A and B are shown apart, each in its own frame.
Chain A
Amino acid sequence: QQQVKQSPQSLIVQKGGISIINCAYENTAFDYFPWYQQFPGKGPALLIAIRPDVSEKKEGRFTISFNKSAKQFSLHIMDSQPGDSATYFCAARIHGSSNTGKLIFGQGTTLQVKP
């Protein structure tokens, strides 16, 4: 129940295309859904995040779409660039002030954007 399932495992997109990564969860006690970007040899870095009372959030070329009834959320990268090539993780946080940093991560999606 405390899982976040992420797909696809890997993704290849042409430069300028749209990259879409999907995540699904079961636990309705999750209250915060961040996406992290990780480059090889580096730690994950927060990309964008959403709360379940919002259906969409956009920051530049990155958009999160959130479907509360379906318990699904997705990351869309518009106009994908080779510099976006990285591993992307969705995550979820259990509601509760003492659990701010306890995130449940998806398995990751390795994105390759071809020039």
Chain B
Amino acid sequence: NAGVMQNPRHLVRRRGQEARLRCSPMKGHSHVYWYRQLPEEGLKFMVYLQKENIIDESGMPKERFSAEFPKEGPSILRIQQVVRGDSAAYFCASSPWTIGNSPLHFGNGTRLTVT
């Protein structure tokens, strides 16, 4: 019974390159959330997606960041033209439904380093 799978675990990019982070939710989960954790800080909500729909992107930076959750395949968080300030741990979480006290199940994250 696999949990939330994120890859890669570590990603190094030079300034100006693109970073693609992948997230496969738990089996049976159709809701995906992306969070960012800067060093020594708590997690900050970025975006909430259902299959083929962005529900809430209020935490996404206005430029260079995008997310998708296609009908088939994993959710992708894409960061274009990365800068040093994008270095962080990016966590994906999934849940099976939208109401009630459904817990969030987090993956182990992708640690992005921009050099």
A15 interface residue (CB < 8 Å to B): no
Return A108 CB to nearest CB of chain B, in Å.
Answer: 5
Q: Which residues of the other chain, B, contact A106 by a CB distance below 8 angstroms? A: 42
A-B contact number at CB 8 A: 65
Q: Is A101 positioned at the interface, with any CB of B under 8 Å from its CB?
A: yes
Bound CA–CA A106/B42 (angstroms)? 6
Q: Are A101 and B48 in contact (CB under 8 A)?
A: yes
Q: Which residues on the A side are within 8 Å of B85 (C-beta)?
A: none
Query: How many residues of B are counted as interface, with CB atoms below 8 angstroms from the partner's CB atoms?
Result: 29
For the complex of A and B, 4 pairs with smallest distance between CB atoms: A43-B106, A105-B42, A101-B33, A97-B99
Interface residues of B (CB under 8 A from A): 4, 31, 33, 35, 40-45, 48, 55-56, 91, 93, 95, 97-109
Could you list 11 further interchain pairs (A-B, Cβ under 8 angstroms) beyond the known A43-B106, A107-B42?
A43-B4, A44-B43, A44-B106, A45-B106, A97-B99, A100-B31, A100-B97, A102-B33, A102-B56, A105-B44, A107-B41
**Chain A residues with a Cβ under 8 A of chain B:** 6, 32, 34, 36, 41-46, 49, 51, 89, 97-108
